[in-house]
Amino acid sequence: MTTTDSAQTGVAAANIGVVGLAVMGANLARNLASREGNTVAVFNRSPERTRTLVSEHPEAGFVPSETIADFAASLQRPRTAIIMVQAGAGTDAVIDQLTEVFEPGDIIVDGGNALFTDTIRREAAVRAKGLHFVGAGISGGEEGALNGPSIMPGGPAESYETLGPILESIAARAPEDGSPCVTHIGTDGAGHFVKMVHNGIEYADMQLIGEAYDLLRRVGGLSPEQIADVFTEWNKGELESYLIEITAEVLRQVDAETGKPFVDIILDRAGMKGTGTWTVQNALSLGIPVSGIGEAVFARGVSGRVEQREAVRPTITARPEPAKVDESFVEDVRRALYSSKVIAYAQGFDLILGGAEEYNWEINPGAVAKIWRAGCIIRARFLNRIAEAYDRNPRLQSLIADPYFAGEVAEGDAAWRRVVAIAAQSGVPAPAFGATLSYYDSLASDRLPAALIQGQRDFFGAHTYGRVDRPGVFHTNWSGDRNEVEQ
Ligand SMILES: NC(=O)C1=CN([C@@H]2O[C@H](COP(=O)(O)OP(=O)(O)OC[C@H]3O[C@@H](n4cnc5c(N)ncnc54)[C@H](OP(=O)(O)O)[C@@H]3O)[C@@H](O)[C@H]2O)C=CC1
Ligand SMILES: O=C(CO)[C@H](O)[C@H](O)COP(=O)(O)O
- From CA 440, how far away is CA 45, in angstroms rounded? 49
Judge whether 300 is annotated as a binding position.
Answer: yes
Q: Is the dihedral of CA 232, 233, 236, 239 positive or negative?
A: negative
Quick one: how far is CA 278 from the chain centroid? 10
Are 131 and 104 contacting, i.e. CB atoms less than 8 angstroms apart?
yes
For the CA of 49, the closest atom of ligand 1 is 37
Looking at the CA of 274, name the nearest ligand: 2
Q: Give the residue whose CA is nearest to atom 7 of ligand 1.
A: 112
Give the other-Cβ count within 10 Å of 397's Cβ.
12
Short-list 218, 225, 222, 221, CA closest to 249 = 225
- From CA 476, how far away is CA 163, in angstroms rounded? 60
Per-residue pLDDT, 4: 45
Are 330 and 422 contacting, i.e. CB atoms less than 8 angstroms apart?
no
- From CA 479, how far away is CA 333, in angstroms rounded? 51
Judge whether 113 is annotated as a binding position.
Answer: yes
22 Cβ inside 6 Å of ligand 1: yes
pTM: 0.96
* pLDDT (mean) for 26-42: 97
| ipTM of the complex, rounded to two decimals | 0.98
Is 327 catalytic? The answer is: no
pLDDT in tens, 241-292: 999 999 999 999 999 999 999 999 999 999 999 999 999 999 999 999 999 9
Looking at residue 394, what DSSP letter applies? T
Ligand 2 neighbours by CB, cut-off 6 Å: 113, 139, 141, 199, 271-273, 275-276, 377
Please, which contacts does 38-41 make with residues 24 or more away whose CB atoms are closer than 8 Å? 38/166, 38/169, 39/13, 39/14, 39/15, 39/63, 40/14, 40/16, 41/4, 41/6, 41/13, 41/14, 41/16, 41/17, 41/65, 41/71, 41/74, 41/75, 41/81
- From CA 51, how far away is CA 2, in angstroms rounded? 10
Averaged pLDDT score across all residues of the chain: 96
Ligand 2 centroid to residue 200 C-alpha, Å: 9
pLDDT in tens, 49-90: 999 999 999 999 999 999 999 999 999 999 999 999 999 999
Res 6 pLDDT > 70: no
Are 224 and 264 contacting, i.e. CB atoms less than 8 angstroms apart?
yes
136 Cβ inside 6 Å of ligand 1: no
Judge whether 344 is annotated as a binding position.
Answer: no
Is 370 catalytic? The answer is: no
* pLDDT (mean) for 438-448: 98
Q: 138, 275, 277: which to mutate for ligand 2, most atoms within 8 A of CB?
A: 275
Q: What confidence tier does 1 reach under pLDDT thresholds 50, 70, 90?
A: very low
Judge whether 199 is annotated as a binding position.
Answer: yes
Give the other-Cβ count within 10 Å of 462's Cβ.
13
Ligand 2 centroid to residue 431 C-alpha, Å: 21
Res 7 pLDDT > 60: no
Host H or E run for residue 134: strand 132-139
pLDDT in tens, 182-224: 999 999 999 999 999 999 999 999 999 999 999 999 999 999 9
Structural domains of the chain ordered from first start: 16-191 (3.40.50.720), 196-444 (1.10.1040.10), 449-486 (1.20.5.320)
150-153 and 132-139 beta bridge pairing: antiparallel
87 Cβ inside 6 Å of ligand 1: yes
Indicate the residue type of 192: H
Are 198 and 170 contacting, i.e. CB atoms less than 8 angstroms apart?
no
Q: 18, 19, 21, 24: which to mutate for ligand 1, most atoms within 8 A of CB?
A: 24
* pLDDT (mean) for 319-347: 98
Choosing from 56, 142, 158, 195, the catalytic residue is 195
25 Cβ inside 6 Å of ligand 1: yes
Judge whether 45 is annotated as a binding position.
Answer: yes
112 Cβ inside 6 Å of ligand 1: yes
Q: What confidence tier does 3 reach under pLDDT thresholds 50, 70, 90?
A: very low
Are 366 and 396 contacting, i.e. CB atoms less than 8 angstroms apart?
no
Host H or E run for residue 396: none
Strand partners, 107: 80, 132
Query: Coil, strand, or helix at residue 173?
Result: strand
